[in-house]
Amino acid sequence: MDQAIPLNPEQRAKLLENTELFASIHESAATSGQTSVPTNLDTDLHFCAFVQAPSPVDKKLHLLELDGRRAGPVDRGLSQDLLAVRFSLFLSFHGDF
């Protein structure tokens, strides 16, 4: 990986794309997880994730969509504290514990 040090981000991405070790690790991660993949589904090693992060502009929490097929994160707008919302919902069903 020392050969990646002098490269710019695009060149590093190409290096990683063409490195068998990372291709193997990526394939393993992309095809594993908590949800079983139907046998008749071609996943094409693609995934999406949603995360909360403070906006660099207003410092408020925003919901970001991370999609490997997009050029970068997609800001889906203001977001509540998802953990607090889920915990509140949990308490409404299970009461104090």
My answer on whether 92 and 56 are in the same domain is: yes
pLDDT in tens, 25-79: 777 777 766 666 566 666 566 677 888 888 888 889 888 888 877 888 888 888 8
* 33 and 57, same domain (yes or no): no
What letter does residue 96 receive in the DSSP assignment? Answer: -
Q: Domain count for the chain, please give it.
A: 2
Cross-strand partners of 65: 50, 74
The answer on 31 and 7 residing in a single domain is: yes
Asked if residue 97 has pLDDT above 60, the reply is no
Asked if the model's pLDDT at residue 8 lies above 70, the reply is: yes
Helix orientation angle between 9-17 and 20-30, rounded to the nearest 10 degrees? 80
Domain that holds residue 19: 1-41
d(CA 41, CA 32): 14
| First-to-last C-alpha distance (Å) of the chain | 49
Residues 89 and 67 in one domain: yes
The C-alpha atoms of residue 32 and residue 10 are separated, in whole angstroms, by 27
The pTM of this model reads 0.44
pLDDT (0 to 100) of residue 41: 62
Residue 96 and residue 53 in one domain: yes
Specify the pLDDT at position 48: 79
Residues 60 and 76 in one domain: yes
Instruction: Looking at the structure, tell me whether residues 94 and 55 fall in a common domain.
Output: yes
Whole-number pLDDT of residue 7: 86
